[in-house]
Amino acid sequence: MKLPRLSSFFKGMNLTVFTFVMIFLYIPILILIIFSFNDARIITSWKGFTFKYYAQLWENAAIKEAFWNTMLIAILSTVISTLLGLITALGLENKRLKGRRGFMGLLYAPLVIPDILMGVSLALLFNFLRVNTGMVTVLIAHITFCVSYAVIVIQSRLEDFDYSLIEAAMDLGAKPRTTFFKVKLPLIMPGVIAAALLSFTLSIDDFIITFFTSGRGFDTLPIYVEGTIRRGTITTINSLSTLMIGFTLFLVVFTKRIRKSLISFF
């Protein structure tokens, strides 16, 4: 009789802890969304409901430029890092590859190195090579850390791959190229999509590495937001953050809907 009581006790405790964690995570986001409609320059009190900060956000040319810079870097780094990650993960399938362990160590290095060290090292490299910092240097920096995540995500998908399907396709007369595009790629496509989404999210969210490699005249949203908050103007930032939250939710729903269609297409 004691075991069922203990089981129900731990279930109730787990539910309580889960509820507390969810409240702790989402209450600040809810407050941010609510105060994005607050007709006040500071968020210490509620002055009334307004959409004027969303209108100011739409008219702000600096925010628009930072947004398009962020999207451009994120899309380019996602495409390039996902392709490189796919090629690398397929190459590392060969367990007899010489230097495989050393190469894996290099891939894991960006995951454990602090962002500030990576940002400083890249800034020193670009300075040593006398490369002007800007869009190109930011793109190279984002690809540098995104490709490691892409390789690991895709490689985890390949570890559970059933290679008997490849053998069956080849026994039926399928050529290697046909086998890859018709059998292997569709089966690992969820891992490829997950790697692309992770790379896209990391690129949009990055601040420290971008700060050291962007230079003057090229701002992404994290850089612009940090500068705006430092100056004490956060009203339009609340509106911008609310729109970014909505965009993120839309991206999640959109990705779930197109994943099946992508798999069936390949």
Q: How many C-alpha atoms does 136 have within 13 Å on its Cβ side? A: 4
Indicate which CATH number applies to the domain containing 198.
Answer: 1.10.3720.10
Is residue 32 a part of any domain in this protein? no
When divided into structural domains, the chain yields a total of 1
Percent helix, strand, coil in the chain, to 5, is 80, 0, 20
Residues 6+ apart with CB under 8 A from 10: none
**pLDDT tens digits in sequence order for the chain, 266 residues long:** 444 554 565 566 667 777 888 888 888 888 888 888 887 766 667 777 888 888 888 888 888 888 899 999 999 999 999 999 999 888 887 777 777 777 887 888 888 888 899 999 999 999 898 888 889 999 999 999 999 999 999 988 888 777 788 888 887 787 878 888 888 888 888 889 889 988 998 998 888 999 999 878 788 888 888 887 777 666 677 888 888 888 878 877 777 776 666 555 55
**Chain CA centroid to CA 43, Å:** 29
Is residue 37 a part of any domain in this protein? no
Place of tokens 């006790």: 9
Is residue 34 a part of any domain in this protein? no
> 3-state DSSP call for residue 49?
strand
Reported as a single tens digit per residue, the pLDDT across 21-58 is: 888 888 888 888 888 888 776 666 777 788 888 888 88
Is residue 94 a part of any domain in this protein? yes
Separation of alpha carbons 154 and 135, rounded Å: 27
**Hey, CA dihedral for 105, 108, 113, 119, is it positive or negative?**
positive
Separation of alpha carbons 210 and 218, rounded Å: 10
**pLDDT for residue 1:** 45
Q: Nearest to residue 216, comparing CAs of 159, 132, 148, 144?
A: 132
Paired tokens of 236 = 């339009």
**pLDDT for residue 262:** 55
Separation of alpha carbons 48 and 128, rounded Å: 53
Burial of 5 per CB tally in 10 Å (0-12, 13-18, 19+): exposed
Is residue 131 a part of any domain in this protein? yes
Is residue 1 a part of any domain in this protein? no
* Alpha-carbon distances, residue 155 vs 93, 195, 209 (angstroms): 8, 10, 25
First-residue to last-residue Cα distance in the chain: 55
Is residue 14 a part of any domain in this protein? no
Burial of 86 per CB tally in 10 Å (0-12, 13-18, 19+): buried
**pLDDT for residue 32:** 81
Is residue 56 a part of any domain in this protein? no
Domain coverage including residue 169: 61-265
